[in-house]
Amino acid sequence: MNSFSTVSLKKYSIIFIVLMSFFSTQDVVAQCAMCRAVLESEGNQSVAKGINNGIVYLMAIPYVLIAAIGIAIYRKMRKEA
């Protein structure tokens, strides 16, 4: 195998793993104890669902930023080599 096919195989493997991680997620129901107690006592499910979605979005932002920084560093190092 030449070096082009090895690099190509690694690239496709990484793309495959990233795509599978996006498509294999399950619904996450995460809340702090106080938010959960308040929302369960109200009985309004649409508000509870909105709070859950907000928590998940806030949790995802740091991971997206870290991934973007990692990709930028990887590309910078790859150009220098």
Helix (H) or strand (E) holding 59: helix 45-80
Q: Two tokens at 79?
A: 């150009």
Of 54 and 43, the one with more pLDDT: 54
59-66 average pLDDT score? 91
What confidence score (pLDDT) does residue 3 get? 53
**H or E element in which residue 21 lies:** helix 3-23
CA geometry: angle at 78 spanning 73 and 81, to 5°?
A: 130
More reliable by pLDDT, 69 or 17: 69
Q: Is the pLDDT of residue 81 over 60?
A: yes
Across the chain, mean pLDDT equals: 77
Tokens of 23: 């498509």
pLDDT at 28 over 60: no
Q: Is the pLDDT of residue 52 over 60?
A: yes
Measured CA to CA, the distance from residue 55 to residue 62 in angstroms comes to 12
